[in-house]
A and B are shown apart, each in its own frame.
Chain A
Amino acid sequence: EDKVVQSPLSLVVHEGDTVTLNCSYEVTNFRSLLWYKQEKKAPTFLFMLTSSGIEKKSGRLSSILDKKELSSILNITATQTGDSAIYLCAANFGGTSYGKLTFGQGTILTVHP
């Protein structure tokens, strides 16, 4: 069964810290890995990764995929209180469609001022 596991499940840091969130997957026919940020409502899209070793960056956030290790990391530098959220990792496994995402449990990030 396809599975996505995130670690840590929760993390508490202070503003200015750098954090690294982990996501690993067990795959049959992996296609892509997506990161989302969820505050009080719907998940907001951050990145989609399909190629190993190519870093995607958006401001203070960056992410990279390692297909050999079946994992991905999401880095947030110089954290701010507005980064407090649940970070979700999801994988798309092949076979029929890109439309099905399998999500991890999420990492709850709390950033204190």
Chain B
Amino acid sequence: KAGVTQTPRYLIKTRGQQVTLSCSPISGHRSVSWYQQTPGQGLQFLFEYFSETQRNKGNFPGRFSGRQFSNSRSEMNVSTLELGDSALYLCASRQGLAGEHSYNEQFFGPGTRLTVL
């Protein structure tokens, strides 16, 4: 089975621009979560999508948004980029079935390294 894939792998943008990142989960996984990783703050949860609905949201400004499509692929958008948005953006997928703990292991993609100049 192919793992979680993310595109693009690297991105350089300037302040004020917007960016869209894409994540394809493991086949059969219905849940996609997004995380931001920085040296200062570590790994922080952004949001989770399950069956095309946002289920959870972390403490990030409204400039960070996302969506999920019917095939479980997800996109994350950051508008009006700031220097502090430079980070590794990771997505993770899980099967998301209720009642069986093993279905809730999260597997990460390789990440998108975003640099804001």
Interface residues of chain A, those whose CB is within 8 Å of chain B, are 32, 34, 36, 41-45, 48, 50, 88, 90, 92, 96-106
Assess A99 versus B42: contact at CB under 8 Å? Given A42-B90, A42-B111, A48-B104: no
- Whether A45 contacts B45 by the Cβ 8 Å rule is no
Contact with B101, one of A32, A41, A44 (Cβ below 8 angstroms): A32
Q: Hey, which bits of chain B sit against chain A, CB under 8 A?
A: 31, 33, 35, 42-45, 48, 50, 55-56, 58, 90, 92, 94, 96, 101-102, 104-111
In the assembled complex, the Cα of A32 lies from the Cα of B94 at a distance in Å of 14
B106 and A34: CB pair below 8 A? Answer: yes
- Contact between chains at A101 and B111 (CB < 8 Å): no
When the two chains form the complex, which single residue of B43, B96, B111 contacts A103, counting CB atoms closer than 8 Å? Answer: B43
What residue in chain B is nearest A50 (Cβ atoms)? Answer: B101
Select which of A42, A104, A105 is within 8 A of B109 by beta carbon.
A42
Q: Total A-B residue pairs with C-beta atoms closer than 8 Å?
A: 67
Chain B residue at minimal CB-CB distance from A105: B42
Least CB distance from A41 to B in Å reads: 5
With A42-B90, A43-B90, A103-B42 as contacts: A97 and B106 at CB distance below 8 Å: no
Closest residue of A by beta carbon distance from B33: A99
- Interface pair A97/B43, CB less than 8 Å apart: no
Looking at A96, A100, A104, A105, the one whose CB has the most chain B CB atoms below 10 A away is: A100
CB contacts (< 8 Å) of A45 on chain B: these are 105-108
Q: A36 to B50, alpha carbons, bound, how many Å?
A: 22
Q: For A36, give the chain B residue with the smallest CB separation.
A: B108
Say yes or no: A97-B48 contact (C-beta < 8 A), given A43-B90, A48-B101, A103-B43: yes
CB pair B48 A99 closer than 8 Å: yes
Of all chain B residues, the one with the shortest Cβ separation from A44 is B108
